[in-house]
């Protein structure tokens, strides 16, 4: 039996724990002097490892389905990054060969999977509900001609700060103010059909993704551990539905939902009608119906955000905001604790709901073997 959220966090601190080396880590810095030599050695091995880790795409290799797909374009000319280095904001970065390979595999995997007949190939092929969800999550900036599909729990609050700053609604990117997620933002859903089509065709389009289980845990800890409105709206319902003897309990406050109870709730939810904070990233942004020019990752947030700012032509003085002081990151230790404490039957049933997030964005499936969880 899993403990309520506050007790889970304290238990995790007492027991500690961390990931073993069995989970593949892709971001290893390569010294610039050895970048060219490393790039000739790493691709074949890392390509194989990334595809294996992303959940069973070896069949694509056997059928040669990846061979004809173009590689992604270069990540910019570096002028903006050079400016920031001169300004002292960044030290010279080493060439990250492995991450470039992961980007390439993610790009190829997405194009290949999205080309399948059963996948949507345009917004018009989406259902009305799917289209509504998508258009409500794409933010528009006409001055810099870009579209950003926001995914909750993937730095979307800070991206909204950037958009408000770029359109003049926010004077200071680092202002310690509560984010208003609706005002002073333009959503694609507010435009006419012909205006939507024009922007989708001509604007730079990007989104950011995150390890699906990390994102899910972040949503759980934030919404059920800190936000009273979510505790009352969702927490009370979850406890009454999944905790024995509480179906008619009028004293339930919803502030002690366990992670296992939350997962049971997700299993009974339709992914297309989920709350946006735990709806799969695929369903929020429909990357097969919309051809995104760039998909950044939460794991490389600073460099990927810098690339986007450079690409849209933002002033070199515009920077991606630092995380708020109250932000509590999901660490490898906390993820290890929660996933290993979860009944494995629940985890096996949960993964299919998020399998497109794992596969399309090349994230490894969680390792919760007995050996791994003992550490």
pLDDT band of 327, cuts 50, 70, 90: low
- Tens digit of pLDDT for each residue in 222-263? 999 989 999 999 999 999 999 998 988 888 999 999 999 999
Give 33 or 218, the one with higher predicted confidence.
218
On the question of pLDDT at 26 being above 70, the answer is no
Give the per-residue pLDDT at 324. Answer: 67
Give 370 or 29, the one with higher predicted confidence.
370
For the ranges 21-25, 159-163, 173-177, the maximum mean pLDDT occurs at 159-163
On the question of pLDDT at 22 being above 50, the answer is no
Give the per-residue pLDDT at 20. Answer: 37
Percent of the chain topping pLDDT 90: 56
Phi, psi of 75 (to 5 degrees): -95, 40
Residue at token pair 């800890």: 221
Give the per-residue pLDDT at 27. Answer: 36
Q: How many CB atoms lie within 10 A of CB 131?
A: 18
On the question of pLDDT at 151 being above 80, the answer is yes
Average pLDDT over the chain, rounded to whole?
Answer: 79
Give the per-residue pLDDT at 325. Answer: 62
pLDDT band of 2, cuts 50, 70, 90: low
What separation, in Å, do the N-terminal and C-terminal C-alpha atoms of the chain show? 20
pLDDT band of 130, cuts 50, 70, 90: very high
Give the per-residue pLDDT at 10. Answer: 56
**Residue ranges with strand state E in the chain:** 138-141, 146-149, 186-187, 204-209, 294-297
Q: What is the mean pLDDT of residues 308-327?
A: 86
Torsion angle, alpha carbons of 353, 358, 361, 362, to 10: -160
- Tens digit of pLDDT for each residue in 61-118? 333 333 333 333 433 444 444 444 344 444 434 446 777 787 788 888 888 999 999 9
Cα–Cα dist 308/310, whole Å: 5
pLDDT band of 8, cuts 50, 70, 90: low
Give the per-residue pLDDT at 17. Answer: 43
- Regarding pTM above 0.75, the answer is yes
């Amino acid at each position: 039996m899993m403990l309520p959220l506050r007790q889970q966090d304290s238990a995790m601190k007492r027991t500690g724990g961390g990931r073993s080396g069995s989970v593949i880590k892709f971001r290893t810095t390569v010294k610039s002097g050895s970048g060219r030599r490393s790039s000739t050695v790493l691709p074949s091995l890392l390509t194989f490892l990334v595809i294996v880790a992303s959940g069973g795409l070896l069949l694509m290799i056997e059928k040669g389905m990846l061979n004809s797909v173009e590689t992604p374009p270069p990540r910019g000319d570096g002028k903006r990054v050079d400016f920031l280095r001169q300004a002292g904001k960044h030290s010279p970065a080493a060439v990250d060969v492995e991450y470039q390979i992961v980007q390439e595999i993610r790009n190829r995997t997405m194009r290949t999977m999205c080309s399948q007949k059963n996948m949507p190939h345009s917004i018009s092929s989406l259902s009305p509900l799917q289209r509504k969800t998508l258009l409500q999550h794409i933010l528009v900036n006409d001055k810099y001609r870009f579209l950003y599909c926001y995914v909750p729990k993937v730095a979307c609050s800070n991206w909204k700060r950037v958009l408000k700053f770029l359109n003049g609604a926010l004077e200071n990117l680092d202002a310690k103010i509560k984010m208003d997620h609706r005002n002073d933002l333009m959503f694609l859903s507010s435009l006419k059909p012909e205006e939507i089509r024009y922007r989708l065709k001509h604007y730079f389009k990007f989104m950011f993704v995150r390890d699906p289980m990390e994102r899910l845990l972040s949503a759980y800890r934030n919404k059920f551990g800190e936000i009273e409105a979510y505790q009352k709206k969702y927490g009370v319902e979850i406890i009454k539905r999944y905790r024995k003897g509480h179906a008619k309990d009028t004293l339930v406050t919803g502030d002690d939902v366990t992670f296992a109870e939350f997962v049971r709730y997700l299993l009974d939810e339709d992914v297309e009608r989920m709350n946006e904070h735990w709806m799969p990233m695929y369903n929020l942004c429909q990357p097969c119906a919309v051809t995104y020019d760039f998909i950044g990752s939460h794991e490389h947030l600073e460099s990927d955000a810098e690339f986007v700012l450079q690409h849209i032509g933002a002033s070199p003085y515009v920077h991606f905001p630092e995380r708020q002081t109250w932000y509590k990151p999901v660490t490898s230790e906390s993820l290890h604790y929660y996933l290993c404490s979860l009944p494995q039957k629940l985890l096996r049933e949960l993964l299919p709901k998020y399998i497109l997030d794992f596969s399309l964005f090349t994230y490894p499936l969680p390792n919760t073997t007995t050996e791994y969880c003992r550490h």
